[in-house]
Structure formats: structure tokens, C-alpha cells
């Protein structure tokens, strides 16, 4: 079936699902495949649950004579083409966002600010890959003024592919750091892949990029683009400086050289979130959000999902940044924690995943830095940290650490909890 014909059927549906557990009346089911599942096997059940149509790519699962089954060559490609077709039909202005660290938090801050003046669609959770991006685009409605589409990558060419699905009009790369080196091959590979967003925007002609002026990696690859800059220098489109970080980030900002100084007290932990907040201010200002509404959005935003969160328990203060970790974000979190004016500082760190051949060296750099900081207590989790040279208690996995906590639970500490999602430090968060 041609995409244009499938699109007409899509318009009669209430939405799209690729999850057989989330089928309901009026949806269009698209059967995707994974390493351990085949969505084609659930197509008939999806129709029984009320889906109007089921898109399949294996003929044996399409019942002859039942026009509710739609046979295509490849369901994933069809999903992506349908999303792109829908995006083109509506013509919604789209802001594409990627980056090594902070892209999800920045996306949430941008959305919070833009919602003060616009009807927008933005990526929910971490739906930022080759499946999540098209599913997000298919939620676009005619009433949306703007869409903020997050794009993630762990191998070369992934951002390029996502830009050809979403076709963003504007772009922002939050930063470039050492992450997924196993997939990218090198730090240069990370730069090249993240820069694929800029590469796409160049093909559109006079495209606008929102850029952190103090980031040399971004400035180097942003040639021939219309730059709207933010940072510390007073001449920039938006500029500001940190006023406090104990424990929550506070800062002043203004628009250019003549703007009035604005003060924002956030609920974010970490100086590294300052650039993320400035990015949201810059985009908000560009799209006409008034300063007091920008400030209100940033003040009210509360981080979730183990990202830059602070929780006070009966026994400790937890600084939770356990959703993910790489050498760049880990060092930023440690440097910030070291500066914070808090008593009895304790570290609970987990391995950083997907670093390839340089993994041991990157973990050693972290341990060497920790040794210089004289934190009150340090606990490490994971095989990579266990292999480095240090004198700290180290546990092979989170289960071993929780057993220790059951015998002697920490009390009276401010605890930074940071590690890759695979180390499952969130279980320690639940226990503490």
C-alpha cells in the first residue's frame, strides 16, 4: 500500500500503537519486530482489542479477505514514512534537540517555557530513537504551533536518519561529551554524529541553531548556520551567571546588553544545568514568551525520573542522578558536588557503560579525581570500578550493596547517586 493511501486510513484512527498491550478501540496497530518478539503474531489480537487496522509485514499473519490487515514490505520503515508524511502534511515548526548530556532535561525545560505561550507537542520520556521519534510525530495535531523532538544516538548515522524523519526547522545540540564510545568508536565519532543535526539544517538553507557560545566543539561545527547564542558574554542573545548552587541552582539572566536582569531560583541540582536553562530561555524568547512567564516556568519545573533530583529522607539527603552516566556527565556531577556547601558528603557511584576499549582508563580518571576531593564516604558498584586502583569499598552489583545497607544503613549524609542505568542504582534509591 502507498503511504498516501495508508495515511488516509490513519486519519480515520485515533492514533498509532506498536505495543500489543496498549491496543484499544480506534487505533492503528503497526507490527514491529525485536530480538525477542514479533509484532506480527499479535496483529489479530490487536484487531480483537478494537484497533481499526493492523499493519503487518509477514503475509501469513494477514487473514485473506479481511481488509483490516494491511500488508507492507517492512513495518518499521512504514512507521517512519507515515510519520514523515504526516509531519509534511501539517507543516508544524519543529525544533530538533540532541546532545550527549542534558538533552532530556533541556527538552523538558524548553517545553515548560514554550507552553506558557504556545500549544506544543514534545517528546515524552526517552522516546528519542528510530521508533520513538516517529511515534511522537504521529501525535502532531493541527493546533500545535511547535514541536520539540528529542533525538538520541549510540552509533554513527542515527541522528542523520532521525532528521530525515522529523525534518526539523530549528536545532539545538546541548553539548558533546564522551558517551557510547563503544558504538561511536571515538570522541570524534560522537562529534560527527551529533553534528548530523547541523548537517541536515544546512541543507534547508537559512536554518536557525540555538547554541551554547562557550562550547568550542559546537562552535567549530556550526559554520554557515544562523546562530542564536547563549552563554556568559553580555553581548549574546541571552546571557547570565550563576548566583547560587547550595543545593539548588539559582541564576540571573538578561536579553542582550540592554535587557532587564531577571532572577530565577530553580529546583535543579547542578551548575551543569545552567546552560540547559539558558537554552530554554533563549528558545522561549525567540518564540515570543515574555520574561516573567519564562521565569515562572523555570521556577516551577521539578525534575523527575532520577535526573538531577533532590530528596530528603528521614536519614539522609539524596542527590539522584542515576538515570545514566558517561565520563563527561560523571565528572560534571562530581565537580558540582565537590563545590556544594553540604556536610558529610557521600558518593554512591555505579559503572559507566558502553565505553569500549577506553572504559578502564575513564573509570580510573574518575577514581583519581575522587581521591583528591576527600569525600566523607565513597561506595562503588560495578566490575569496571572494581578493576581500577583505589582503596574504596566496591561491590560487584547492587544486590551486594543493598545487603550491606540492610546491616548498616547510612545516616546523616548528603549522598550523590550517579551511574549508568544498567547498574540499577535506582534500587538503592528506593531502599534509602
pLDDT digits (tens, 9 = 90+) for 73-114: 999 999 999 999 999 999 999 999 999 888 999 999 999 999
Hey, what's the cell of 378? 565513597
Task: Determine the average pLDDT of the residues in 376-383.
Answer: 96
What does the angle CA 323 – CA 326 – CA 327 come to, to the nearest 5 degrees? 145
What does the angle CA 227 – CA 294 – CA 198 come to, to the nearest 5 degrees? 25
Full set of structural domains in the chain with CATH? 3-75 (3.40.1390.10), 91-300 (3.40.1190.10), 309-431 (3.90.190.20)
314 membership: H or E segment, kind and range:
none
pLDDT digits (tens, 9 = 90+) for 318-365: 999 888 899 999 999 999 999 998 889 999 999 999 898 999 999 999
- Pick the closest to residue 370 from 401, 354, 391 (CA basis): 391
Cα separation of 410 and 428, whole Å?
11
Hey, what's the cell of 333? 556531577
pLDDT digits (tens, 9 = 90+) for 15-70: 999 999 999 999 999 999 988 999 999 999 999 999 999 999 999 999 999 999 99
**Helices (H), ranges, 49-186:** 75-90, 103-114, 132-137, 158-166, 181-184
Burial class of 183 by CB neighbour count within 10 A (0 to 12, 13 to 18, 19+): middle
Q: What pLDDT is attached to residue 180? A: 67
Q: What pLDDT is attached to residue 376? A: 96
Cα separation of 85 and 408, whole Å?
58
pLDDT at position 179 over 70? no
How large is the greatest C-alpha to C-alpha distance in the chain, in angstroms? Answer: 73
| 3-class DSSP assignment, residue 256 | coil
Task: Determine the average pLDDT of the residues in 364-368.
Answer: 97
- In DSSP terms, 228 is beta-bridged to 210
What are the DSSP calls for 413-430, one per residue? -EEEEE--GGG-THHHHH
What does the angle CA 344 – CA 347 – CA 352 come to, to the nearest 5 degrees? 165
Asked if omega into 247 is within 30° of 0 (cis), the reply is yes
What are the DSSP calls for 110-150, one per residue? HHHHHTTTS-EEE--TT--STTHHHHHHTT--TT-SEEEEE
Other beta carbons within 10 angstroms of residue 405's beta carbon come to: 14
Cβ(23)–Cβ(49) below 8 Å: yes
Cα separation of 80 and 47, whole Å?
22
Higher pLDDT: 89 or 432? It is 89
Q: What pLDDT is attached to residue 4? A: 97
Across 343-428, the runs of DSSP E, i.e. the strands, are 345-350, 377-381, 394-395, 414-418
Task: Determine the average pLDDT of the residues in 201-210.
Answer: 92
Hey, what's the cell of 293? 512567564
Amino acid at each position: 500500500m502507498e503511504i498516501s493511501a495508508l495515511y488516509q486510513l490513519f486519519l480515520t484512527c485515533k492514533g498509532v500503537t506498536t505495543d500489543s498491550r496498549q491496543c484499544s478501540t480506534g487505533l492503528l496497530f503497526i507490527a514491529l519486530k525485536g530480538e525477542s518478539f514479533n509484532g506480527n503474531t499479535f496483529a489479530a489480537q490487536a484487531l480483537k482489542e478494537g484497533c481499526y487496522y493492523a499493519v503487518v509485514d509477514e503475509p501469513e499473519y494477514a487473514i485473506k479477505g479481511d481488509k483490516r490487515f494491511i500488508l507492507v514490505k517492512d513495518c518499521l520503515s512504514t512507521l517512519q514514512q507515515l510519520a514523515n508524511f504526516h509531519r509534511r502534511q501539517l507543516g508544524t515548526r519543529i525544533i530538533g534537540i540532541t546532545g550527549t548530556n542534558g538533552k532530556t532535561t533541556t527538552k523538558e525545560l524548553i517545553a515548560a517555557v514554550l507552553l506558557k505561550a504556545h500549544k506544543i507537542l514534545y517528546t515524552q520520556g526517552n522516546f528519542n530513537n528510530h521508533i520513538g521519534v516517529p511515534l511522537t510525530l504521529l501525535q502532531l495535531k493541527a493546533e500545535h504551533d511547535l514541536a520539540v523532538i528529542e533525538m538520541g544516538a549510540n552509533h554513527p548515522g542515527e541522528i542523520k536518519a532521525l532528521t530525515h524523519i522529523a525534518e526539523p526547522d530549528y536545532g539545538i545540540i546541548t553539548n558533546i561529551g564522551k558517551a557510547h564510545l563503544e558504538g561511536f568508536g571515538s570522541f570524534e565519532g560522537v562529534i560527527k554524529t551529533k553534528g548530523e543535526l547541523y548537517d541536515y539544517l544546512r541543507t534547508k538553507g537559512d536554518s536557525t541553531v540555538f547554541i551554547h557560545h562557550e562550547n568550542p566543539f559546537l562552535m567549530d561545527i556550526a559554520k554557515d548556520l544562523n546562530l542564536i547564542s547563549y552563554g556568559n558574554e553580555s553581548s549574546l542573545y541571552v546571557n547570565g551567571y550563576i548566583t547560587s548552587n547550595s543545593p539548588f541552582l539559582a541564576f540571573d539572566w538578561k536579553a542582550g546588553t540592554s535587557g532587564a536582569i531577571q532572577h530565577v531560583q530553580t529546583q535543579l541540582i547542578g551548575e551543569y544545568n545552567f546552560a540547559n536553562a539558558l537554552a530554554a530561555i533563549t528558545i522561549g524568547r525567540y518564540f515570543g514568551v515574555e520574561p516573567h512567564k519564562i521565569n515562572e516556568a523555570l521556577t516551577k519545573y521539578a525534575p523527575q525520573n532520577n535526573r538531577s533530583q533532590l530528596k530528603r529522607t528521614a536519614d539522609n539527603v539524596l542527590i539522584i542522578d542515576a538515570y545514566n552516566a558517561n565520563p563527561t556527565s560523571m565528572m560534571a556531577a562530581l565537580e558540582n558536588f565537590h563545590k556544594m556547601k553540604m556536610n558529610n558528603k557521600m558518593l554512591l557511584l555505579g559503572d559507566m557503560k558502553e565505553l569500549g576499549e577506553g572504559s578502564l582508563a575513564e573509570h580510573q580518571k574518575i577514581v583519581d579525581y575522587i581521591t583528591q576531593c576527600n569525600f566523607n564516604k565513597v561506595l562503588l558498584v560495578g566490575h569496571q570500578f572494581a578493576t581500577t586502583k583505589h582503596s574504596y569499598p566496591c561491590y560487584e552489583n547492587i544486590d551486594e550493596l543493598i545487603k550491606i545497607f540492610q546491616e548498616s544503613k547510612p545516616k546523616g549524609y548528603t549522598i550523590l547517586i550517579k551511574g549508568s542505568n544498567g547498574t540499577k542504582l535506582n534500587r538503592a534509591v528506593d531502599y534509602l
